[in-house]
Amino acid sequence: MKFLILFAVLGVALSSESRKTYNGYQVFQTEVLDKSGATALQKLAVENDHFDFWSGIPSTGTKAELMASPEDIDALREFFTARNIGFKLKVPDVQNFIDEASKTNSKKEHNPESRYQLDWEDYYQFDVITDFIEELAQTYDYVSTQSIGKSFEGRDTKILSITKAAPGAPIIWLETGMHAREWIGPAVVTYAIRELLENSENQKYIDNLNFHILPVANPDGYEYTFNGDRLWRKTRSETGSGLGCKGVDPNRNFGYHFGESGVSSSKCSDVYNGPEPFSEPETANIRDFLETLDSIPEVAFAFHSAAEILLYPYGYDYDVFPENIDEIVALGDEFVDTLNAVNGMTFENIPSTDLYPCAGTSHDWYKGVLGSRFAYTLELRDQGYGFVLPPQQIVPSGEETWAAIKVLLDKVLE
């Protein structure tokens, strides 16, 4: 097709070590897609590297949001028009959108009376989050941190463990920061950690459950979003790409039905799944840690953004569900009802494939291989901002999510 000739080599731009800006980039939102439109966009997502799907790979009955570079805008419009896909301009200039969404009043001196810098009024880099969990480990004798291994660039991937409960107590595993640009995940999970440890109303959970929490699963990518490319998604590993494209989508790199759907073999794609399962040290570290625990986590929960939905397995193919699907759905319904009641949100509980089929995800592996009783992925707030949710929304997002997490914990305590 002639529009393909117009595409700039986005992989080269992303491989640059200078800070990437998005001046002139635009985001388009489609109408609700019929089967034909969804199929066309699904094919585009896995066969072409030059558009960023902000809302994930689309499916029938959903809207898609795609970002295009200035060089590719006309080509994307032509693609929509040729396939009778209605669309509108959502974000006229992505860099302006990022700059406006990032404004905050919290650029202030650290409060010397606070034990840690983290304050949930802004987003913070990897070292600040690590310092936060280290400080908690020094404060509580039943809290510890440990590195479960190094990232590709040599950063310690650290978890926080809360193990006041007796050995053999049910285990809760919480994981976020898998996709680098989804800053709201680490912010919400650290908010939940604070609530768990510093709110006396939650003591029953500490007394009866053991927690292992990973607040930044992809530290290299996360750090790169602060100093290189705000919208970077993948890890930062070398792939051998002739175009210099780096990284693998870690949430396509887990070893359960690896590579079967929702992935690309192009090393420049945001959904490149890697050469083999657990090729990334970040995902291999998670596997190795969880497989050494003395029991299987009762709950294994991943936090992503931004679609305002709770996803349950399996995601690798349509109409394939775990054996205890009824209790998974029932608990998920209670989770979203509780979340929505806090701030009037409208989250839904849906099968993963209703968002889009994709294989090699963490929650599929947690359920299908590890064997956790409950495995979910929560897609946190969008509110029209996608991956650049303003920091003013951290606290309300934390409030509603923590209320819903307690539903899971209460279920395990029954």
Say how far apart CA 4 and CA 98 lie, in whole Å: 28
Strands (DSSP E) found in 181-328: 210-214, 299-305, 309-312
Q: Which residues contact 34 (CB under 8 A, 6 or more apart)?
A: 60
SS3 call for 13 = helix
Point out the catalytic residue in the list 175, 298, 379, 400: 379
The sheet carrying 156-162 orders its strands as 143-150, 156-162, 210-214, 171-176, 299-305, 374-380, 309-312, 348-351
Residues sharing a CB contact under 8 Å with residue 271, sequence separation 6 or more, in sequence order: 45, 46, 57, 249, 252, 262, 263, 264, 358
Distance of CA 289 to CAs 222, 283, 298, 386, Å?
A: 21, 10, 15, 31
The Cβ-side half-sphere exposure at 84, using a 13 Å CA radius, reads 3
Indicate if 379 belongs to the active site: yes
| The two structure tokens encoding residue 203 | 């003591």
Sorted by sequence, the CB contacts under 8 Å of residue 337 that are 6+ apart come out as none
For the annotated catalytic residues, the residue numbers are 379
